């Protein structure tokens, strides 16, 4: 082992009808990343963590039904040098509006297949968004 500390989080992929993915930027951070965060001792499971974090960060209501586990990914942590982030990632549906609050300063939607040179955390740029870009987008709005 190389002595790096692991930060375990649960992260969300929320897509709009065009397949764009919601990203957030924390106060003081330069890069965009997925909404989500660390588990609390009181959380029942990953989806409970995610629903709590999404409500805190964006004021939205997540639906546990229909959540789809995308995978477990890791990368150097965006905001904590010397740490590795390990994320359980779920695609979920949530009712907006999505409004930046708490420690979140910005919200945007990105096309996972056309990121350009936007500053995006490595976990998202190298793992999560490529995995999402490879998946089919639902064509029925109510899917
Ligand atoms: N939430 C989230 N964190 C990420 C992503 N990519 C990435 O490198 N990280 C890093 C940023 C932080 O260094 C760490 C997660 O900490 P966090 O600050 O989001 O978690 P949290 O809200 O529960 O933390 P805290 O404020 O209670 O300390 O993982 C990502 O896509 N989503």
Q: Domains in the chain, ordered, with CATH? A: 5-133 (3.90.79.10)
Specify the pLDDT at position 1. Answer: 47
Tokens of 76: 């150097």
User: Which ligand 1 atom is nearest residue 38's CA?
Assistant: 23
Instruction: Give the mutation target among 79, 100, 108, 112 for probing the ligand 1 site: most ligand atoms within 8 A of CB.
Output: 79
Specify the pLDDT at position 135. Answer: 82
Specify the pLDDT at position 28. Answer: 95
Instruction: Express each pLDDT in 119-142 by its tens digit.
Output: 999 999 999 999 999 886 655 555
Mean pLDDT for 64-82 is: 95
Specify the pLDDT at position 103. Answer: 96
Specify the pLDDT at position 4. Answer: 77
- Is 80 close to ligand 1, i.e. is its CB under 6 Å away? yes
């Amino acid at each position: 082992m190389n002595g790096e500390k692991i930060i375990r989080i649960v992260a969300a992929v929320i897509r709009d009808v065009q397949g764009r993915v919601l990203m957030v930027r924390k106060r003081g951070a330069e890069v965009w990343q997925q909404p989500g965060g660390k588990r609390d001792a009181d959380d029942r499971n990953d989806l409970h963590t995610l629903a709590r974090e999404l409500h805190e960060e964006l004021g939205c209501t997540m639906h546990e039904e229909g959540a789809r586990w995308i995978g477990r990914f890791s990368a150097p942590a965006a905001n904590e040098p010397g740490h590795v982030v390990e994320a359980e990632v779920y695609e979920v549906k949530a009712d907006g509006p999505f409004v930046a609050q708490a420690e979140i300063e910005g919200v945007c939607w990105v096309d996972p297949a056309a990121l350009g040179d936007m500053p995006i955390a490595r976990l998202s740029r190298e793992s999560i968004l490529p995995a999402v870009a490879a998946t089919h987008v639902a064509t029925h709005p109510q899917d």
